[in-house]
Amino acid sequence: MAEIELAREELVEKLSFIETYNTEEIQKEADCSAMAPSVGEEANCMEAQLASCPFSTDLKLMDNKLYPIEEQLQYLLRKADEFQNRLVYSEDNAQNEGFTRVVPTFLKTCQPYFNYLESTARNTSPGQSPLPLYIRTRLLQFSQQLCSRLEQLVLTYASYGYLSLAETDPMCVSHFYIGQCQVDNIKLSIFRYCQPTPFLALTSNRLYKRMRWNVERKFGTEEGVEEEKNDNRTEVTQKMEGEQETKKERGMEGYSTEYYFLCYEDVHLVEGEALREQTDRRPGEEAVLRMWSVGKWVRIYPDPDTEDINDWVLCTIPQGQYKPLVYLGEEEPSSCIATDCLLGLLLSQADQSITHPIT
């Protein structure tokens, strides 16, 4: 355990250097890229502007700026390998109690790195030029790579009985935090489920969640007012990391919190549909189509518009339902693509509740 705490201190120190140096350097390069002329302008104009830029857009130089960030990724991946190998090859039963604390502690150690990647790649503010696409893509690839490795680590420890993935268990590690970003008036906190998890812990409805996003909006903006009008104060009383900390730092006055999910549902097909959709199905095998979607938790009880305080006092577990907003097809999207999709929905404020599948 002491080694993990030491790793966390080392990580924070390295991230401090990265944040003060690389973010400035990368942003300067983004500003330089924004100076490039549009298609159709004179070539000598482009050459003159690029020559005056202090940072070349050459990919090799970009890689040099990303090197310390990738180095930290490799450090965390090595630590994950070390913790997994220690479990698999250990013959010391006295370490059992320590094994139950290793993964939760390490997941917290990785949170600053996830925050750095997501915020650097996605954050927007007035007057700030967007990052070059190559850098943004690489940062999100780092996040995806670490997320996949941590997911594997959690599942390994769970297979040995040191962790629980069941949400009915108060000490479960069913999901973990993979970063936060601020886009316009939207603050997005991202969570990844270690395996497909029933959307409702106490009821089976063939709907399984894979990701969750906590979305905070400011009151008073045009978007926030319209959203509050349509889905008045929708909330869920699931155990959600970061909520109490957010209340302390910013307070709930002036903000609303909503919850979105990446889910899949197994749709059972009738025979005619099965012949069209699953030509390789075995005889007698039930035809099932797995459909992925991004949607929203909408509370249905107590009534969001009720003014009767007794409804809240007497309700032990608020009830809600999943409202699909966009269908993504049969293939599971990566966490990065799913987050991009949600941000697109939130920023566009589409009027339609359900859209056609993305191709």
Distance CA 125, CA 128 (A): 6
Strands 175-183 and 288-301: unpaired
* Digit-coded pLDDT (tens) for 245-299: 444 444 445 678 899 999 999 887 765 554 455 555 555 566 788 999 999 998 7
pTM of the model: 0.72
Q: What is the mean pLDDT of residues 189-203?
A: 90
Q: Which two tokens stand for residue 237?
A: 């009383």
Share of the chain above pLDDT 70, in %: 58
DSSP assignment letter at 354: S
Helices (H) and strands (E) in the chain, counts: 10, 6
Tell me the helix, strand and coil percentages in the chain, rounded to 5: 50, 20, 30
Query: What per-residue confidence (pLDDT) applies to 220?
Result: 57
Cα–Cα–Cα angle for 259, 116, 165, rounded to 5 degrees: 50
Query: What per-residue confidence (pLDDT) applies to 156?
Result: 95
Look at residue 132 and tell me whether its pLDDT is greater than 80: yes
Which sequence spans correspond to the domains of the chain? 1-39+47-163, 171-359
Q: What is the mean pLDDT of residues 47-72?
A: 65
1-39+47-163: which CATH topology? Answer: Glutathione S-transferase Yfyf (Class Pi); Chain A, domain 2 (1.20.1050)
More reliable by pLDDT, 137 or 227? 137
Query: What per-residue confidence (pLDDT) applies to 47?
Result: 38
Report residue 57's pLDDT band, with 50, 70 and 90 as the boundaries.
very low
